[in-house]
Structure 1
Amino acid sequence: MSNNNEALAIKFRCPAELEGKIPPPVPASLGLPGWLKAMPTQAFNAMSNREEDTVKRCPPFVDAMTSGFLMPLVCDLKIENGEITWDNDLPSGGVLEFPRSPVGFHDESQVIGSPLFEQDRFLIKFVNLWTIEAPAGYSLFFTHPVNRFDLPFTTLTGMVDCDQFHDSWIHFPARWHDTNFSGTLPKGTPVAQCFPVKRENWVAQTAAMTPDETSRAQELSNRMAREPGLYRRQFRT
């Protein structure tokens, strides 16, 4: 049985022919975007008339971006006038066949009736060539790379029981929302972020605060107003 200090492993495997030829998944902490690194930690707030912390110093914002693993784009994608092209020199499959195209498509009929539906507009599908195995009892929650509003697409969210399903591919459908985008999406661009989720049963309990809980909540609110960075110093794990 694991303890709190023992790291659990997510196992990513690729066909032997592709080892060293496709970018590997990386811990999200190693894939922070340049704009976050370049952001100032404080900026002038005209409403309060003082310097205040930016989201770069907001632990929940940054912790979400640095948790889990990022799944990479297989190769450069060139986008021009709504057309996607690529130059992918992957070798042919051996015993195991695998897709050589970095993207596929979903017909719009698959999302008819949903907010994703647009007439005569496909959803793209980022091809992933890594199988993914989670420890027993864990699923993987796949979603758009957190807070990456700069990317011209939005990856759809899904959950897969990767402790059971781990011998085949999981691809990532996405909506290309920036129809004016023109340029190259570089190899290695994160197309999805995955978080291990332990499968457990939960129930919601609601109640009015007791007098003691009310007092504690007010005291903490007052402290947070007086002491910037309190959460980061005292509550962040």
Structure 2
Amino acid sequence: MQVIFRCDPLLQDILPRPLPAQQALPDWVRAMRPKAFSALHGRDIRTVKQCPPFIDAMTLGFVIVLPCDVRVERGVFSWDWALPEPGIDGHPRAPLSFHVPEQLAGSPLHAGAVALKFNSFWTIELPAGWSLLAMHPANRLDLPFRTLSGLVDADLFHDVGINFPALWTDPDFEGVLPKGTPVAQCCPVPRTQLAFSYAAIDGESAVRYEKLAADVLTTPGVYRKRFRAPRERGGQS
């Protein structure tokens, strides 16, 4: 799939580019041990580092990254970013901006967290029939914010950037959110209707169920070795 990113020509040598999500795995995943001792089991067991669905979710699609360092002190956000004047009217200058709390009124999101949005410096164009699902980077509970999920028909809406609303969830955070931090994970999804059917697990399907369930319980790596599809790394073109 061809994903086309565009930015202001005066900024293209300054802005960090969106990255394939494979290239944005956090250091804690890389540092994790593949096994850890479980007192309950009395032996080493596999950690989530060896769980393909967990890792595959984190490496799906691409990520939008923070374009500069953002300092947070006593709930105040600031940045020192010498961004040149863009050549396009209406283009953002700040890495983030804010929503008023009333925009969340009546929802479970309206619970005292600061509502902000990460501004986009790139437009995103997808092929016809595809939409873009933007969400919080998968399994990144270590980040002090939660990006809200949204679906944009990016085959049609691609002449301006998509901003990414988020909640700042760690009121005690003090320090710097560094340039390059993933702020949104984006996955192209086909705009097609789903058809549902329902059936009982019986006959041959019951036999396959019992065999596979036994294999999963007794043999490590069944899904990874027998069912996981090959992954290809995304990149520039």
Q: Normalising by structure 1, what TM-score?
A: 0.94
Residue matched to 2:24? 31
Q: Which amino acid aligns with 1:91?
A: P
Q: Distance in 2 between matches of 1:37 and 1:59?
A: 14
Instruction: Report the 3-state secondary structure (helix = DSSP H, G, I; strand = E; otherwise coil) of the residue aligned with 1:232.
Output: helix
Contact 2:8 2:88 (8 Å CA) reproduced = no
- Deviation string, structure 1 residues 146-193 (Cα, Å, up to 9, x no partner): 000000000000010101111011001100000000000001110000
Q: Please name the residue that 1:4 is paired with.
A: none
Aligned to 2:225: 233
Q: Which residue of 2 aligns with 1:155?
A: 147
d(CA) in 2 for partners of 1:199, 1:210: 33
The answer as to whether partners of 1:44 and 1:52 remain within 8 angstroms in 2 is yes
Q: Which runs of 5+ in 1 are unaligned?
A: 1-7
Task: Tell whether the 8 Å contact from 2:68 to 2:81 is kept in structure 1 after alignment.
Answer: yes
Aligned partner of 1:113 in structure 2 is: 106
Distance 1:220 1:72, change over 3 A: same
Would you say the 8 A contact 1:27–1:69 is kept in 2?
yes
Query: In 2, distance between residues paired with 1:49 and 1:178?
Result: 36
Q: CA RMSD in A?
A: 1.1
Aligned pair count? Answer: 229
Cα distance between partner residues in 2 of 1:97 and 1:109? 25
Q: Which aligned pairs between 1:126-165 and structure 2 lie closer than 5 A? A: 126-165=118-157
| Matched residue, 1:73 | 66
SS at match of 2:108: coil
Q: Is the 8 A contact 2:123 2:158 kept in 1?
A: yes
Tell me which amino acid in the other structure corresponds to 1:75: C
Residues 1:199 and 2:191 aligned together: yes
**Alpha-carbon distance between aligned partners in 2 of 1:96 and 1:20, rounded to the nearest angstrom:** 19
1:43 aligns with 2:52: no
Structure 1 residue 47 displacement after superposition: 1.7
Whether the 8 Å CA contact 2:21–2:62 is kept in 1: the answer is yes
Is this contact kept in 2: 1:144–1:193, CA < 8 A? yes
SS in structure 2 opposite 1:16? coil
Which of 201, 220, 224 is matched with 2:216 structurally? 224
- Does residue 181 of structure 1 match 2:173? yes
Letter in 2 for 1:146: A
SS of equivalent residue, structure 1 residue 132: strand
| 1:77 CA displacement | 0.3
TM-score by length of 2: 0.94
Quick check: 1:108–1:118 contact (8 Å CA) kept in 2? no
- Gaps of at least 5 residues in structure 2 are 230-237
CA distance in 2, matches of 1:105, 1:97: 17
1:190 pairs with 2:182: yes
- Give CA-to-partner distance per residue, 1:83-117, whole Å, 9 cap, x none: 00101111112244411011111111111010111
Bigger drift between 64-73 and 44-53 goes to: 44-53
Contact 1:74/1:128 (8 A) holds in 2: no
8 Å CA contact 2:145–2:170 kept in 1: the answer is yes
Where does 1:10-25 land on structure 2 (aligned, <5 Å)? 10-25=3-18
Give 1:203 shift: 2.1
Once the two structures are superposed, what CA deviation does each residue of 1:97-150 show, in whole Å capped at 9, x if it has no partner?
A: 41101111111111101011135x540111110000001111110000000000
